[in-house]
Amino acid sequence: MATSLVLFSTLLAFSSYSFSQNLLTNPGFESGTSGWTLGGDASAQFTESSGRSGNRLTHWSSSSSYTAETKQTVTGLAAGNYRLSVYTVGGETSGAWLWAYCDGQSFSTPIPSSPWGSWAQVVVDNISVSGGSCELGITTENSEWSSFDDVAFEWVSDGGPGELVIEEATGFCSVDGSVDSNHPGYNGRGFANTDNAAGNGVEWRVQVPAGGSYELEWRYANASDNNRSGSLLINGSSVTTVDFPSTGAWETWAVATATISLDAGENTIRLEAVSGEGLGNIDSLTVTGNSPQAIDCGNNSGDGYPLGNPPVPSAGCGQSPGLASGTHRMTSAGLNREYIVSLPDNYDANKPYRLVFGMHWAGGSAEAVEGWSQWFGLKALDTEDNTIFVAPEGYNEWWNGSDDRDHIFFDDLNAHLASNLCVDTSRIFSVGFSLGAMYTNGLAQTHQDVLRGVVVYATADYNIYFPDNTGEPLAYMGVHGLHDPTCPISSGRRSRDRFVANNACATPGSVPEAWNGGPHVTYDYDCPDNYPVRWSTFDGAHSYPPNDEPIGSSWVHGETWEFITQF
């Protein structure tokens, strides 16, 4: 799937960039909302005086629930990198974001609240456009009030290099030790502290549009008397040694630099201790050059995460939560979309949570997933409050079968959640029944780098957008009735067998299944322990829970929860 979402959760800055003219019509709202399209509640979007310069746009409504979306389409764009920005002031803007949709990619960032009188600029950088048009906008939902002024959309010239600063978020892959916070002066959530042994190190991953020279800069502290030098490896090859002289104290921070070459595309950067003292404490890595971007290290390719792996925190960890439990809205692929979030009681912004998506059936809704199904019976089993549950809403009470906009919505939503909440990105799951299972099954074909596992109740691989399977492994649980007339069990078996093959599971001569008049039968394939395949069958038709058992008392809840929580 060519569509992706880039959400700037790491800190992006630019040095010596120059910009061309603003490409927006009426960017300062001096002519009211002329040139802008008002989506959602139009009455909640109006202009007032006392802007940053002249008038300002305000989103506010006295109604208990509203969505205000002010957007504009810019056409005739030349290929290149663009920058979108807006100034904001005031309000409770926990449900506001600045976004662009260009060439099948969505770019967005949350809009924080700002005290009245203190205008703050919000920026989305590195908007890659191959040519054509972009839809741009500001969306707010259910905020107390928020105001905006001086929106700008500009082509970025080659006047200077891009600078990417990676803290303990996207792009930070691992440390052979721990992330600590016991010495002040660090940025972000803490610093990487390697165990004191030669060869231990820290690893990052970045993506660049073209090969060439890039500058790396580490912010570090070293209280020892010795130079704790590090061997620098790029894509597995040693390229130089970097000196990290003593800074005199663990609270005193300095920088060390190296100039290296990166290849176009993804690059792995690893810094390894040369001596048995290990490295100094590493606070951040800055990459300067041609539009570097941090990329997610949490993929399930290759050997994947082992069972019981440490959590992989998202960019929203350590931040004030940008979302609360309840119904929210966002724009994705040009559509207004809705979703429901259920946070654990006593949500802790420093604790990475398991994330479970609940996908509704045809004619169902996100509200029914939350209410009637009680999150497919799983919420009650989360007695330790380790899980965030999210129910996206299809459009027209349906998951679309003709295009990939639902897949784009999943990508956009997942990134939005990771930026606004503390998510364990190594433990993301999707669960669905009937059409929701088919949607989940479609995601499973291409999202092995995002999803740890899926659970599908009565799935099929038709009447839904269904991309080609990548061949990558994914934990898979299928539940099917022997006599399902809507999604025949043959389709469930076919979907199961894809992941039996992908996961390199042993194939038995026959797979145990339920029989007429008998109990349900669950069979666990002989697979690598981090890529299990579970197949549950029952004597019944197309129903959830199986045979219309009451929610909360079916066998399927416990077996699903056992499957999800084994990781």
CATH of the domain at 526: 3.40.50.1820
Report whether pLDDT(104) > 60: yes
| Count of alpha carbons within 13 angstroms of residue 263, beta-carbon side | 10
Round to whole Å and give the CA distance between 416 and 99: 11
Q: Does 276 lie in the same domain as 202?
A: yes
> Is 74 within a domain?
yes
Round to whole Å and give the CA distance between 331 and 357: 18
Instruction: Single out the residue of 268, 146, 290, 258 nearest to residue 203, CA to CA.
Output: 268
Name the residue with higher pLDDT: 246 or 318.
246
- Which domain covers residue 440, as residue numbers? 326-565
Average pLDDT over residues 198-227: 89
Predicted confidence at residue 159, as pLDDT, reads 36
pLDDT level of residue 302 (50, 70, 90 thresholds): very low
- What crossing angle do the helices spanning 405-420 and 435-446 adopt, rounded to 10°? 80
Q: Does 106 lie in the same domain as 210?
A: no
Dihedral sign for Cα 250, 254, 258, 262, please.
Answer: positive
pLDDT level of residue 157 (50, 70, 90 thresholds): very low
Predicted confidence at residue 189, as pLDDT, reads 65
pLDDT level of residue 249 (50, 70, 90 thresholds): very high
Average pLDDT over residues 168-185: 80
Report whether pLDDT(15) > 60: no
What digits encode the pLDDT tens for the residues 252-292? 999 999 999 998 778 899 999 999 999 999 999 989 887 78
The total of other beta-carbon atoms located within 10 Å of residue 318's CB is 17
Report whether pLDDT(484) > 80: yes
Residues 6+ apart with CB under 8 A from 305: 298, 312, 426, 452, 530, 567
Report whether pLDDT(414) > 70: yes
Instruction: Give the mean pLDDT of the chain.
Output: 86
Q: Does 233 lie in the same domain as 338?
A: no
User: Cβ(457)–Cβ(443) under 8 Å?
Assistant: no
Residues 6+ apart with CB under 8 A from 42: none
Helices and strands of the chain, counted as H and E runs: 5, 33
Choosing from 124, 159, 194, the residue where a domain stops is: 159
> Is 312 within a domain?
no
Instruction: Single out the residue of 187, 259, 270 nearest to residue 233, CA to CA.
Output: 270
The total of other beta-carbon atoms located within 10 Å of residue 440's CB is 27
Choosing from 294, 309, 344, the residue where a domain stops is: 294
Question: CATH number of the domain that 253 lies in?
Answer: 2.60.120.260
pLDDT level of residue 243 (50, 70, 90 thresholds): very high
Q: Does 516 lie in the same domain as 430?
A: yes
Amino acid at 501: A
Q: Does 68 lie in the same domain as 188?
A: no
Round to whole Å and give the CA distance between 437 and 110: 30
Q: What pTM value is reported for the model?
A: 0.54
Dmax (CA) of the chain: 76
Pairing of strands 475-481, 453-457: parallel
The total of other beta-carbon atoms located within 10 Å of residue 384's CB is 8
Predicted confidence at residue 521, as pLDDT, reads 96
Q: Does 193 lie in the same domain as 121?
A: no
Dihedral sign for Cα 453, 459, 464, 466, please.
Answer: positive
Q: Does 541 lie in the same domain as 434?
A: yes
Kindly tell me the burial class for residue 528, based on how many C-beta atoms sit within 10 Å of its own C-beta (0-12, 13-18, 19 or more).
Answer: middle
Question: Domain tally for the chain?
Answer: 3
What digits encode the pLDDT tens for the residues 421-434? 999 999 999 999 99
Report whether pLDDT(92) > 70: no
> Is 383 within a domain?
yes
Predicted confidence at residue 2, as pLDDT, reads 29
Round to whole Å and give the CA distance between 389 and 370: 9
Q: Does 347 lie in the same domain as 246?
A: no
Q: Does 139 lie in the same domain as 178?
A: no
pLDDT level of residue 447 (50, 70, 90 thresholds): very high
Q: Does 144 lie in the same domain as 38?
A: yes
Instruction: Single out the residue of 135, 103, 123 nearest to residue 37, CA to CA.
Output: 135
Predicted confidence at residue 7, as pLDDT, reads 32
Predicted confidence at residue 132, as pLDDT, reads 74
Report whether pLDDT(296) > 80: no
Choosing from 125, 159, 193, the residue where a domain stops is: 159
Residues 6+ apart with CB under 8 A from 326: 340, 341
> Is 142 within a domain?
yes
Name the residue with higher pLDDT: 64 or 516.
516
Predicted confidence at residue 536, as pLDDT, reads 97
Predicted confidence at residue 13, as pLDDT, reads 33
> Is 301 within a domain?
no
Predicted confidence at residue 16, as pLDDT, reads 32
> Is 320 within a domain?
no
Predicted confidence at residue 435, as pLDDT, reads 95
| Phi, psi (rounded to 5 degrees) for 44 | -90, 10
> Is 300 within a domain?
no
> Is 37 within a domain?
yes
Average pLDDT over residues 168-197: 81
User: Cβ(88)–Cβ(148) under 8 Å?
Assistant: yes
Q: Does 361 lie in the same domain as 261?
A: no
Q: Does 419 lie in the same domain as 280?
A: no
User: Cβ(316)–Cβ(422) under 8 Å?
Assistant: yes
Round to whole Å and give the CA distance between 81 and 240: 32
